[in-house]
Amino acid sequence: MNTIKKVSIIALLSVVVFSTGCKKFLDVNTNPNVVYGPQVSLVLPSAQMYVASAVGCNLQINGSIWGQYWTQSPLASQYKILEQYFPSGSNYDNSWGLMYSQALPDLKYVEKTGTATNFKQYIAISKLMQAYMFQVATDAWGDIPFSESGKGEVADGGITSPRYDAQTSVYDGIIKLITDASALISATDPNKPTTDDLVYGGNMNNWLAFANTLKLKVYLRLSEVDSVKAKAGIASLGAAPSGGYITTTNPAQIAFLNTAGAYNPLYAEIVGLTKTQNLVASKTAVDYYKNNNDLRVTKFYNATSVAGATGCQQGNYNTQVSGVNYPSDLVGALSSSTNSGTAPVKFISSYESLLLQAEAKVRGWISGGGDSLNYAQAVSNNFTSYGLLATDAATYLASAGGAYPSTGTKTAKLKAILTQKWACMNGNQGFEAWTEWRRTGYPDFFTVSTTSLIGQVFPARFFYPNVEVTRNLNFPGQKLITDKVWWDK
């Protein structure tokens, strides 16, 4: 990332977001966006940062605990309720507010102002960020406000209690947002962002690759609930859509700095909690890496060797474990290292993109083969992204634990791809990993928390936040935490 872009992030974070950590700056009673007439170049980065704050902090923590990368330290107590599988609705006020009260008004402003000024590339990015954000929201909560959301201003209808749309309709709307955005993208348009785009710096070719990859992910999410629509949608994209898919050179992420006020949002949360090390390694994940002699365990955790890595059983916060490892600063979760502040927030990683393509090929929804190559590229990129060597990845891919079952059954291939996706996303795409586990059942070795308050079952969704329960007159009613969302079959 260039110096100008770093400076812009520091300025944005220190003024808009991280002055008090990711749980402290949000006031859902105050709309910070009621400033009429700002340039879209000032509003776009704040919108992107609000989405990153939601995905990179509260959702990262929740997803990484329920996705069994992390567990609550026996020496602390902050996230015990997540291990008990019974958080309160107030636990989700911040993440909901970051998306609906902060990011969405900014994104709608960029879209509306871009339309009035013919800034088509800003409109495209706004629509794509909305599509990404809405998918995160509906995957977390199921039915959500969509068609009437972001219309609180009088000129937009004055809707302060937006109705909830069925998740199937939300998914249709997300696909339309991506399609409409893709049609607007032009790399030669002079009216495009530069450093005010914190994800791609105004590179519209990269945004087109993002659009294609996001649409592929959206359709694959329907694999178990509407395979006909999923297959048709992916077939319309094909193996090589215009603009391609995200590759190792253009992951969608936002970088941060080792500077107070510009920290990764998870580390900012840790700093706000007086640097207490609440999160420790889960035995589920550590044992997986150890059993497969996988060097990534030394990167995702502060372990000095594969054999010496130690995790705590999921939910076992009542028992101290000697030598338990912590999540590393590479994923932003090591309280003792300010390098945690530099961990990026990843929206769509290159290895996620490659494994999405591999899955679609195995299902026969992208023709031409290449699933084995996609798998190997994803693993190699994940290794090198975290400081390991390509030769380390090659050794792992040649081992029994890492080899792809090229001649195996469809089921064996899907299991390998989806388990590997989980192995790659440790601590860096925690919510997405937990979501993919809900969709597919892979990995198939999760253990129920020892302190579960809901019996021998797993959580299947987030509770709706209290701000919706108490303020939205069209709130449809709270769900059980075991109620599955629409696509979870």
Q: Is 312 helix (H, G, I), strand (E, B) or coil?
A: strand
Tally of domains within the chain: 1
In a domain, 270, yes or no: yes
Look up tokens 């607007």; give the residue.
Answer: 184
CA gap 343, 448 in Å, rounded: 29
**Lookup result for tokens 């597919």:** 440
Residue 231 or 27, more confident:
231
Q: Is 468 within a domain?
A: yes
What proportion of the chain, given as a percentage, has pLDDT over 70? 92
Are 264 and 344 in contact, with CB atoms under 8 Å apart? yes
Render pLDDT for 53-69 as a digit per residue (tens, 0 to 9).
999 999 999 999 999 99
Domain-located, residue 224: no
336 assigned to some structural domain: yes
Question: Between the CA atoms of 436, 439, 441 and 442, what dihedral angle is there, to the nearest 10 degrees?
Answer: -30
- pLDDT by residue (tens digit) across 249-276? 999 999 999 998 899 999 999 999 999 9
Task: Output the pTM of the full model.
Answer: 0.94
What's CA 299's distance to the chain center, in Å?
A: 20
- Report the pLDDT value the prediction gives residue 38, as an integer from 0 to 100: 85
User: What would the two tokens of residue 296 be?
Assistant: 């990534």
pLDDT at 368: 87
Q: What's residue 37's pLDDT?
A: 67
From the list 403, 400, 428, 433, the residue with the least C-alpha distance to 418 is 433
Residue 199 lies inside a defined structural domain of this protein: yes
Question: If you average pLDDT over every residue of the chain, what do you get?
Answer: 93
**Comparing 2-16, 91-105, 370-384, 424-438, which segment has the lowest mean pLDDT?**
2-16
Q: Indicate whether 335 belongs to any domain.
A: yes
Is the dihedral angle over the CA atoms 379, 380, 386, 392 positive or is it negative?
positive
Model confidence over 417-439: pLDDT tens digits?
999 999 999 999 999 999 999 99
Domain with 478 in it: what CATH number?
A: 1.25.40.390
Q: What contacts 48, CB < 8 A, 6 or more positions away?
A: 103, 129, 197, 198, 199, 254
DSSP letters spanning 410-466: HHHHHHHHHHHHHHHTTTTSHHHHHHHHHHH--SS-----TT-SS-S----SPPPPH
Average pLDDT score over residue span 146-166: 95
Contact criterion met (CB below 8 Å) for 164 and 149: no
What is the per-residue pLDDT for 243?
Answer: 95
Compute how many other C-beta atoms are within 10 angstroms of the C-beta atom of residue 160: 12
Which residues, 6 or more positions from 66, have their beta carbon under 8 angstroms from its beta carbon?
Answer: 82, 434, 458, 459
Instruction: Write out the DSSP string of 41-77.
Output: HHHHHHHHHHHHHIIIIIHHHHHHHHTTSEEE-TT--
**pLDDT tens, residue by residue, 178-190:** 999 999 999 999 9
Q: Over 80: is that where the pLDDT of 26 sits? A: no
**Over the stretch 301-325, which tens digit does the pLDDT of each residue have?**
999 999 999 999 999 999 999 999 9
pLDDT of residue 22: 52
Q: What is the pLDDT of residue 398?
A: 98
8 A C-beta contact, residue 282 and residue 30: no
Mean pLDDT of 6-25: 43
Q: For position 25, what pLDDT does the model report?
A: 35
Q: Which domain holds residue 472?
A: 1-203+250-286+305-346+452-483
pLDDT at 335 (0 to 100): 98
Q: Does residue 395 belong to any structural domain of this protein?
A: no
- DSSP strand pairing (252-254 vs 345-348): antiparallel
Q: What is the pLDDT of residues 93-103, one digit of tens each?
A: 999 999 999 99
Residue 16 domain flag: yes
